Amino acid sequence: MNNPELPQLKIEQQKDNDKLVCKLAGWLDPNTSPDLLCKIDLTRVQSLIFDMTNIEYIFSSGLRVMLIFQKMMSENGGTMKLINVPEQIRSIFEDTGLDKMLATKV
């Protein structure tokens, strides 16, 4: 049951052959990160792209989930990229050394 007072995460997925684009909106925090892990099906996906255009904030739990997806894709010979990352979110990735996941183009 969602609490309307807590920040939410909206996930839109579009699959095209072996490419999965996930548009995220809202907060990627301890309450929403497990939801993201559960809702993304990587079956037959070789290219995973997270469109971060509408991410408002990311907590360490959100960074951990991104690392989990990166590891899963790498283990299966696939790739993962983050696109359209807002500047305030980009700086968090740069500060933590996780900016290698960021893509400027797809």
**Cα–chain-centroid distance for residue 60?**
13
- Report the candidate in 88, 40, 91 with the shortest Cα–Cα distance to residue 66: 40
**Closest alpha carbon to 81 in 20, 16, 14:** 20
Instruction: Provide the pLDDT for residue 106.
Output: 42
pLDDT at 2: 59
Q: Which of 11, 18, 28 minimizes the C-alpha distance to 80?
A: 18
Write out the chain's pLDDT in tens, 106 residues. Answer: 556 677 799 999 999 999 999 999 999 999 999 999 999 999 999 999 999 999 999 999 999 999 999 999 999 999 999 999 999 999 998 888 888 777 644 4
**105 touches 75 (CB < 8 A):** no
- The pTM is what? 0.89
Write down the CATH number for the domain with range 9-101: 3.30.750.24
Q: What is the pLDDT of residue 103?
A: 65
